[in-house]
């Protein structure tokens, strides 16, 4: 439904998007995740025809964003980072105005607005000025605005920024509900936001793709993503050799214990199998004794932090 091929966007010396390629399939909800300044908003502006790429091709439902921008705009609903709302208009007037701009014939406008305002839970505030609404309601108006022409693609840029926890849950539920019928890109710098709502996540950093997959795939993709800490009494060198010989173990480090306390063996293990049980079995079979066994799994959050902070740490 959306194809992005080798897209680069430069602002003078800044490379906001750097040779980025990805696809979004029909009906998919893609989480576009990255820290602030990663290039998310810039990429969305290119997809929605707000600005051209410096390089590369974007196609939406087969239409090129450069040569066929009207066709592209018809298919897409866009909720920008700060929704362009007219604060002194009431909700109904604002949505009629947007409907008019979108070229929706006047005889169906009223019906369309009713449908959208019902779907977005705006029934109670139709006659109120947008400026008097809470941030949560304003965001619903923004969402209604993006859906008024019944697009099959929806692009949401940080849709819950500035909302309180209750409003965040409401907006997420709303997005999930709407998402059943649409293809969606949801941009966010907040991991739980995308892992709660999206089928697939694409992580970008400094304009480049650093990972993509389902939340589960991303959490299991990094090798050595399980750390086992075992305190084992016995001969350190011998124990280490036996641990390293285990099939699931990628590496072993020994933290030598002081005095009579045992050494700690820190293992990096693969995802497969039950590494805890294997270590325990090895200990029993060799008459060692085990005083502590701790298994730490890498979470999706760790993966995200690892992928997006590597370079800063190295500096
Ligand atoms: N209109 C612009 N002019 C100059 N630099 C820009 C412009 N828009 C974005 N940038 C720069 O491009 C980079 C990516 O920004 P942006 O796409 O807004 O990231 P994100 O949405 O992921 O926070 C940043 O370094 C930002 O300062
Ligand atoms: Mg942004």
Ligand 1 mutation target, pool 37, 156, 159, 187, most atoms within 8 A of CB? 37
| Residue 271: per-residue pLDDT | 67
- Which ligand 1 atom is nearest residue 207's CA? 14
Token pair for 296: 């730490």
124, containing H or E segment: none
C-alpha 9 – ligand 1 centre gap (Å): 10
- Residue 119 confidence (pLDDT) above 90: no
The ligand whose atoms approach the alpha carbon of 156 most closely is 2
- Using an 8 Å Cβ cutoff, are 107 and 184 in contact? no
Helices (H), ranges, the chain: 40-47, 69-75, 91-101, 106-119, 135-147, 165-179, 191-197, 215-221, 236-244, 275-285, 300-314
> Is-contact 34 40, C-beta < 8 A?
yes
Name the residue with tokens 């793709």: 209
What average pLDDT score do residues 250-256 get?
Answer: 91
Which residue is associated with the tokens 């709407």?
Answer: 178
* CA gap 156, 18 in Å, rounded: 21
DSSP 8-state code for residue 286: T
Domains of the chain: 2-219 (3.40.50.300), 223-297 (3.30.70.1340)
Asked if pLDDT for residue 13 goes beyond 90, the answer is yes
Q: Name which residue sits closest to atom 2 of ligand 1, judged by CA.
A: 11
Q: Whose CA is nearest to atom 6 of ligand 1?
A: 11
Question: Which one has a higher pLDDT value, 181 or 183?
Answer: 183
Mean pLDDT over 113-130 rounds to 92
What does the pLDDT read at residue 169? Answer: 87
| Alpha carbon of 291 to ligand 2 centroid (Å) | 49
**Quick one: pLDDT at residue 132?**
94
pTM score of the predicted model: 0.78
What CA–CA distances, in Å, run from 226 to 25, 234, 246, 251?
Answer: 32, 24, 14, 11
How far apart are the C-alpha atoms of 196 and 31, rounded to whole Å?
Answer: 10
Q: How many CB atoms lie within 10 A of CB 212?
A: 19
């Amino acid at each position: 439904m959306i194809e992005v091929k080798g897209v680069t966007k430069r602002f003078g010396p800044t490379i906001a998007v750097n040779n980025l390629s990805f696809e979004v399939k029909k009906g998919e909800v893609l989480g576009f995740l990255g820290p602030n300044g990663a290039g998310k908003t810039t990429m969305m502006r290119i997809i929605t025809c707000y600005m051209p790429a410096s390089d590369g091709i974007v196609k939406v439902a087969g239409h090129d964003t450069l040569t066929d921008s009207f066709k592209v705009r018809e298919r897409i609903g866009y909720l920008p980072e700060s929704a362009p709302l007219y604060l002194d208009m009431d909700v109904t007037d604002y949505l009629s105005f947007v409907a008019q701009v979108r070229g929706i014939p006047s005889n169906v406008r009223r019906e369309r607005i009713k449908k959208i305002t019902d779907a977005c839970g705006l029934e109670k505030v139709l006659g109120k000025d947008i400026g008097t609404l809470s941030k949560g309601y304003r965001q619903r108006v923004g969402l209604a605005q993006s859906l008024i022409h019944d697009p099959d693609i929806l692009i949401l840029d940080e849709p819950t920024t500035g909302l309180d926890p209750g409003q965040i849950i409401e907006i997420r539920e709303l997005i999930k509900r709407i998402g059943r019928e649409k293809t969606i890109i949801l941009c966010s710098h907040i991991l739980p936001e995308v892992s709660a709502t999206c089928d697939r996540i694409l992580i970008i950093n400094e304009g480049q793709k650093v990972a993509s997959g389902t939340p589960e795939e991303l959490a299991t993709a990094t090798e050595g993503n399980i750390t086992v800490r075992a305190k084992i009494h016995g001969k350190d060198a011998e124990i280490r050799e036996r641990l390293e010989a285990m099939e699931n173990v990628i590496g072993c480090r020994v933290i030598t214990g002081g005095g009579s306390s045992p050494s700690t063996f820190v293992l990096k293990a693969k995802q497969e199998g039950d590494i805890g049980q294997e270590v325990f079995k090895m200990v029993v079979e060799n008459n060692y004794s085990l005083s502590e066994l701790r298994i730490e799994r890498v979470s999706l959050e760790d993966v995200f932090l690892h992928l997006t902070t590597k370079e800063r740490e190295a500096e």
